[in-house]
Structure 1
Amino acid sequence: MKTVILACLIASAAAFVPAGQTDRTTLALHADLTKEIGAQAPLGFFDPTQSLGADPTNGDQADFDRRRWVELKHGRIAMLAVVGYLSTYVGYRFPGAEDLPCGFANLAEVPGMVWAQMIATWGMMEAANQDQSQAPWGTDAGAQNFKAEFIGDFRNGALDFGWDERSDAWKRKKRTIELNNGRAAMMGITGLMVHDIMGNVDQLLPDWIQKY
């Protein structure tokens, strides 16, 4: 709990595990991937290695959905990591951890009990942030009434904030914003980690950000 960046980095490993859920709006085995969320200007659909097939207008939808979930989960973790790194960098700490450093320097300072607490927290987060109508969570008959609308939809009948009342265009815009913010955050946390190891994060961040 004492360093959010460490928690996010280790938790990101789980993002490589196939999610096992499909997008409710795209059930075709083959589909035009150039129309998916995230394929936008200036690059459009960008797959330089053609890992999804030579013809993106007739791509493997199931494989794309799996990769999209991996990208989305990495992005969410990266957004938390960036905020956590910057928060600890400027000096915010949990009570009792005021003297701990930030970044990788914290690895050798975190007590064993805190590691146990972090691992338990990651497990609970993994269990909660899933489509509860899917196996192995779909044992509750009530969960079947709240099947995910799209990949990454973990509302499960709660915390809707009026989503269902919005237009399809508004929903697509918000999902695009989240995806792009996640992409930027993955680049951001990678840069912060590299400069943390190099010991010159202070040269990367603005002058008004004072290191703890």
Structure 2
Amino acid sequence: MLAFLLASAWAFAPQQTGTHQSTQLQAGKDELVALAEANGDFLGKTIGFWDPLLVTEKDFWGLGEEGTIGYLRHAEIKHGRVAMAGFLGFCVQSLPIVAGPHLTPPYRGFVPDVTPQEQWDNIPLIAKIQIFVFIGMLESYGEGAGNPEGYVHYTKGGLPGYYPPIAGQGRGQIPLNLYDPFGILPEKTEAQKIRGRQVEINNGRLAMLGLFSLLSESAVPGSVPALDLIEGFPKYSGNVMVPFSSDFTLAPYYELLFK
């Protein structure tokens, strides 16, 4: 959540042009502040510009100020999207219709009536690896692999959070895009798109807090009093920060890898 320190809408600002570098950077930061103050949170107030670590003045990996801010903005948006999916996934996987008994087990090793974290633990290792490989493929494409038409990297003036259309890729085997796969959403104006991006950022921030509250209460009962009042709230004694801890070890491969 380091990017939370940055403005909520920097990613959507037009790029500055000019010949004097200091003028460019100052103009970029000024616009960053203006956009931050324009993005209201879900309470109707203003988050404002807050940068106690002075990350707007850093230069990550030689990207420059604008490239660094683009990188952090993209990271925040991506973490927010993952948190929103994780929060909803935790809630859905806690429902009896999902966690309860099935006539046909959804995967080998399925155990009914366990927590969402235990459901993950019970998935075979090969299935977990397949999931991560698939995510890696999506990440690679989202970083510009395959040179999607019109794609500009978010550290080089592109739009942070943007994922290029994927339909037709993979030698034509991918039929749908990730966003609006069926093409049923109405076309939005530029103002509506900007507002939608701001809302997504705020929802993502809230989802990050929400997901960690679920995981915290699940691991340490009573740590989130509001959730502790829910009868039957899932409890988990494992370590959610080590996703392969239950079934993954390099011990069998040690001699092959290091000898």
Instruction: Normalising by structure 1, report the TM-score.
Output: 0.66
1:65 Cα deviation after fit: 1.1
In the other structure, the counterpart of 1:187 is: 209
Runs ≥4 residues deviating over 6 A: none
CA–CA distance in 1 between the matches of 2:66 and 2:163?
A: 21
Structure 2 CA distance for partners of 1:100 and 1:123, relative to 1, 3 Å: farther
For 1:83-106, what per-residue CA distance to the aligned partner results, in whole angstroms no more than 9, with x for missing partners? Answer: 111111123157243526224444
In the other structure, the counterpart of 2:95 is: 90
In the other structure, the counterpart of 2:14 is: 26
Asked whether the equivalents of residues 72 and 179 of structure 1 are also in contact (C-alpha less than 8 Å), the reply is: yes
1:52 Cα deviation after fit: 1.6
Where in structure 1 are there 5+ consecutive unaligned residues? 1-11, 16-21
CA–CA distance in 1 between the matches of 2:228 and 2:221?
A: 12
1:202 Cα deviation after fit: 9.4
1:121 aligns with 2:121: no
CA–CA distance in 2 between the matches of 1:82 and 1:196?
A: 13
The residue correspondences of 1:4-153 to structure 2 (distance < 5 A) are 26-28=14-16, 29-30=24-25, 31=28, 32=30, 33-36=32-35, 39-40=39-40, 41-53=45-57, 60-91=65-96, 92-93=98-99, 95-96=106-107, 97-99=110-112, 101-106=114-119, 108-128=121-141, 130=142, 134=144, 136-138=145-147, 143-145=148-150, 150-153=159-162
For 1:57-92, what per-residue CA distance to the aligned partner results, in whole angstroms no more than 9, with x for missing partners? Answer: xx9322211110110000000001001111111231
Instruction: Normalising by structure 2, report the TM-score.
Output: 0.55
For 1:129-164, what per-residue CA distance to the aligned partner results, in whole angstroms no more than 9, with x for missing partners? Answer: x15xx3x421xxxx3346586221214376565889
**Equivalent residue letter for 1:151:** P
Bigger relative contact order (CA 8 A; separation at least 6):
1
**Equivalent residue letter for 1:64:** I
**Equivalent residue letter for 1:204:** L
**Equivalent residue letter for 1:35:** A
Number of aligned residue pairs: give it. Answer: 181
Q: Pairwise CA RMSD of aligned residues?
A: 3.9
Where in structure 2 are there 5+ consecutive unaligned residues? 4-9, 17-23, 59-63, 100-104, 168-176, 236-259
